[in-house]
């Protein structure tokens, strides 16, 4: 058994067929341990670190950083017995006929027969004189530009007005440039800006961005989207979050409006389970668990990792899970498993300073909620106009699965909880 083992790019799941080598974490000659991370690869889902399948010494690296590699292609060779000395070199192979196997001996010419004899006849050697090197190319000096024809007073006027005489066409005798030519250049309209490829940036569409684009196009044109909007007063929710921050057990916890929105969604799904379902062609699959997706903008594009079985978590556990999810996504370490199996998604567009949006459904999901910016705005409260914390929710849903009534009641319940979380929680318990 060979001690030099080739390690192919493994199947990372979720139907991924290729990955881009982002960064090698080892070099040729390094001693590595079993399961030690050796390379960082970006797939269409996320950037992941791949561990070594064997311990040993890095014998060769076959794929450079920045290369896109198909699953199953060797990316690195590992010497699994480096203490045995230098590994034997592979024999040089020569071309052979198909079906006759490889040859390791040097190729030779069959001897010719001369006058019926079997003696080999070798032609006398012919000495060929080496061809003389080509002469070095002769560089031609560039021709000096012709000097514009103009009298000294005209040149002075052009300098004072900042006009380049070389760009003017003279109307004077023998094509000379006149004062009128200079004045006309000053009063002429500015030239149109030049639009060329040098002023364009080309961004390769690959990895996460490529998969996101494919999924969004597929979803937008396969599921009939409906979007509804609801503007609500979130003042009580914001005050409830402020009270949470004062509790000792919540002192180091990241708290944001997204947390209370997530709780509202989970409770409303319990009241309207059809929202948490999948269209399967000849049937609708209603999920009894909620894998809550949180859309996250990263340097590599938009990804939607999800919190598994989020409906079973306490509010504190939900806060911790959301914090870990966002930090992992920002660092580019989200695994493909964390982005699969989502059942409902929240996208917080409010952090970008916008009111709301019409989000596109992630593949396999039937609803997605957009949370707009929470801001101070005039609001009628107890019969008077007050300054309150107001936001707008946008719910997109698959109309094959969710009727308008069902979608509207779900959005209404989310809004009711955010308007008065304490009273609503008591009423729904």
Q: What is the DSSP string of 91-119?
A: PPPB---TTS--B-SPP-PPPPPBTTB--
Instruction: Answer whether 14's CB lies under 8 Å from 46's CB.
Output: no
CA 192 to chain centre: 36
Q: What is the pLDDT of residue 424?
A: 94
Per CATH, domain 208-428 is 3.30.559.10: yes
How many Cα atoms occupy the beta-carbon half-sphere of 266 within 13 Å? 24
Which is the catalytic residue, given 225, 272, 381, 399? 399
According to CATH, the topology of domain 4-82 is: OB fold (Dihydrolipoamide Acetyltransferase, E2P) (2.40.50)
Residues 6+ apart with CB under 8 A from 299: 332
CB within 8 Å of 75: residues ≥ 6 apart = 7, 8, 9, 21, 39, 61, 62, 63, 69
pLDDT at 106: 44
Q: Give me the residue spans of the domains in the chain.
A: 4-82, 208-428
Based on the residue annotation, tell me whether 225 is a catalytic residue of this protein. no
Give kind and range of the element (H or E) at residue 16: none
Torsion of CA 282, 284, 288, 291, to 10 degrees: 100
Q: How many CB atoms lie within 10 A of CB 32?
A: 19
User: What are the structure tokens assigned to 197, written together?
Assistant: 């490829």
| pLDDT tens, per residue, the chain with 429 residues | 578 999 999 887 656 788 889 899 999 999 999 999 999 888 776 778 899 999 999 999 999 998 989 999 999 999 998 887 776 554 454 333 333 344 444 444 444 444 444 444 444 454 444 555 555 554 444 444 667 788 877 887 888 888 888 888 889 888 889 988 888 888 776 556 667 677 777 878 777 777 778 888 878 778 889 999 999 999 999 999 999 999 999 988 999 999 999 999 999 999 999 999 999 989 999 999 999 999 988 877 788 999 999 999 999 999 999 999 988 888 878 887 888 899 999 999 999 999 999 999 998 999 999 999 999 999 999 999 999 999 999 999 999 999 999 999 999 999 999 999 999 999 998
Same fold, 4-82 and 208-428: no
Long-range contacts, stretch 81-84, CB < 8 angstroms, 24+ apart:
81/3, 81/56, 82/31, 82/56, 82/57, 84/3
């Amino acid at each position: 058994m060979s001690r030099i083992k080739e390690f192919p790019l493994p199947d990372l799941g979720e139907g991924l067929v290729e990955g881009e080598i982002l960064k090698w974490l080892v070099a040729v000659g390094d001693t590595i341990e079993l399961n030690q991370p050796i390379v960082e690869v970006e797939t269409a889902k996320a950037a992941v670190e791949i561990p070594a399948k064997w311990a040993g010494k890095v014998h060769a690296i076959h794929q450079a950083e920045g290369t896109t590699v198909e699953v199953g292609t060797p990316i690195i060779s590992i010497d699994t017995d480096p203490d045995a000395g230098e590994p034997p070199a592979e024999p040089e192979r020569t071309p052979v006929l198909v079906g006759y196997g490889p040859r390791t001996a040097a190729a030779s010419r069959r001897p010719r027969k001369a006058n019926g004899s079997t003696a080999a006849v070798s032609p006398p050697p012919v000495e060929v004189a080496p061809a003389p090197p080509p002469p070095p190319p002769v560089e031609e000096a560039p021709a000096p530009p012709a000097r514009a024809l103009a009298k000294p007073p005209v040149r002075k006027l052009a300098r004072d007005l900042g006009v380049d005489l070389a760009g003017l066409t003279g109307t004077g005798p023998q094509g000379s440039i006149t004062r009128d030519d200079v004045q006309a250049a000053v009063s002429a309209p500015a030239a149109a800006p030049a639009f060329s490829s040098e002023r364009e940036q080309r961004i390769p569409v690959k990895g996460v961005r490529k998969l996101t684009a494919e999924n969004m196009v597929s979803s937008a044109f396969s599921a009939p989207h409906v979007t509804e909007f609801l503007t609500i007063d979130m003042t009580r929710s914001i005050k409830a979050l402020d009270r949470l921050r004062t509790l000792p057990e919540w002192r180091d916890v990241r708290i944001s409006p997204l947390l209370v929105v997530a709780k509202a969604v989970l409770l409303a799904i319990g009241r309207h389970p059809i929202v948490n379902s999948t269209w399967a062609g000849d049937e609708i699959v209603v999920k009894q668990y909620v894998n809550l997706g949180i859309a996250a903008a990263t340097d590599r594009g938009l990804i939607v990792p999800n919190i598994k079985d989020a409906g079973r978590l306490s509010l504190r556990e939900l806060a911790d899970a959301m914090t870990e999810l966002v930090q992992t996504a920002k660092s580019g370490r989200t695994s493909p498993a964390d982005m699969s199996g989502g059942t409902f998604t929240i996208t917080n567009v409010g952090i970008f300073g916008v009111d709301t949006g019409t989000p596109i459904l992630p593949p396999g999901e039937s609803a997605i909620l957009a949370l707009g910016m929470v801001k101070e705005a005039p609001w009628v409260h107890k019969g008077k106009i007050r300054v309150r914390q107001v936001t707008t929710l946008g719910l997109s849903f698959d109309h094959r699965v969710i009727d308008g009534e069902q979608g509207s009641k779900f959005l209404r319940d989310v809004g009711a909880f955010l308007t008065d979380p304490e009273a609503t929680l008591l009423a729904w318990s």
